[in-house]
Structure 1
């Protein structure tokens, strides 16, 4: 619960880590008073930490996972049960798929791999504080979602079980076809509740990630961690975007598991995986180089040497491959497809698509649906450009 300070309610923060240097780094990184917060306690082990959070009832807990007495997961569980509006940030020295999955199950706010980077920690703390400010509305939405989940949840749970079976057994094409119906049923079940459909899409994405991990035992070969994956889902603005995102994720995973594509050097493979996971955003050479801690010229040079194409061509081809999948779905307008795959305006999407594929997006869409019964392209709401 917040405390009064200077005439206003201040949020309480507790920091738990067995290393004093880490605790000090976390505490000194922020001007807590300016954030309307106060660090009310710090602890070196889980037992001491449990007593502290029980007594202090903090709004924000930042804790390591591996602690003597009681681990960070137990503390996060207590916070979730007793302080449902509070936020927990977990930190760890270990890249561990089971850790990430457990953190997601507990719905912690963030899961950060050490060594802690100031920018990542600052972003996690700031977004946690922003969500705390919206807590009454969020609690009301969660209450509605839980009520919806208890009423007639059987069909949608069966649907998620079927999704798990399909991702293991179906081909890429079969899975993409199935995905369209899955999204429609999610839309019907959620009844417009964003918190409900995001939860269901998150479960579907987790099924895809867990299938990949079960086969390869390699979480990071996907090009993004579980938390990056869920962060991507948080950025989705609609179920249409969810369909596009899951389609590209399924295609990439199926290709990896079937061994399709050229074998690149490990670093280039990581860069390509990153591009595959970020293509719908405003990705550029500078942002990719910064993500990997490399110079732009070096990234450009190794990509060119390994793939035979320049960085911009690689991003464009990635976007166009996903766009081709979406164009085969009659419900997407041409300009919507361009936006979903990262093109800021239709004219540029048109230009790049025609340069790579030799036909315009509309021509490709028409040819994809020539033999589809009952499909009409007359109401797409976009007149093809003449180029």
Structure 2
């Protein structure tokens, strides 16, 4: 009897340990059937409409959710699926959701391909309770339907439910956001160093990059520092900024950088610790991503009450330069902000927004 009880206790201990290990696993991957390539069984589809809320493998669906193959559609429409072959389309008030194990208190970023299907002001609502955010999909940043977004959240428990929802009521029932891939990545909080007051200065800590995402990852507007998919940085603008990687773009240094793709409507900021009335030097790299973005560019940088303009003439060849200026701190916290003065599109694709690239942001005190 004692042996049996001991065995039971050991089994329970192993199960608990396994559950904890699962929750503690570092995540940097697609969600279960995150690319939607596992299709519903034949009985789970009526033409393109998914039948039953458990019919799509790995996901729970609610409302009118369609299982789409990329390309021409009945009625003359065309759905671009940039990440694979299949996608889902969310009808009015429809949603898809998935429950995943996470670490309480940790920061995560969801990366997903999303685009509107009609020339209407479509919105995609992303939620991980108690956090929620609406992503406006009206602006197309690339002309091939390959827009990829990242959205950050901080886990409140060991298990979270990720939901993508279409909150709108479109006049045309054939309209609604298209989602073609979903991934997740755990993010680590960056810290300033003795040599640099800026956190995540080279943008190396950022969201998951889908394998075939050659157009970069858009960081949605109005992302606060606490849950930003770009740790340490605030996306405080009306439009998105783009997180780009060295595999698909030219970046000044390291593995990643940020492209300011929407002019003055595309800005990033960070609040750093400073000493009032002390003088600091701010240095950063500015250039182009070697993606066909060309012309006279200008990055404006703000720190305390000081402003600095960094002009750069892009030939679209991936060149960059390092610029610096001084500022005087007014308070114990100083906001540094960067945005592009002008709007740009690629020379080979006027439907794709682009802009100057910034990288290697550095702030150090200057001794009197």
Q: Give the TM bin, normalised by the shorter chain.
A: under 0.3
| Structure with bigger RCO (C-alpha 8 Å, 6+ apart) | 2
**Counting helix residues as a fraction of each chain, which structure ranks higher?**
1
TM-score, normalization by structure 1: 0.26
**Counting strand residues as a fraction of each chain, which structure ranks higher?**
2
TM-score, normalization by structure 2: 0.27
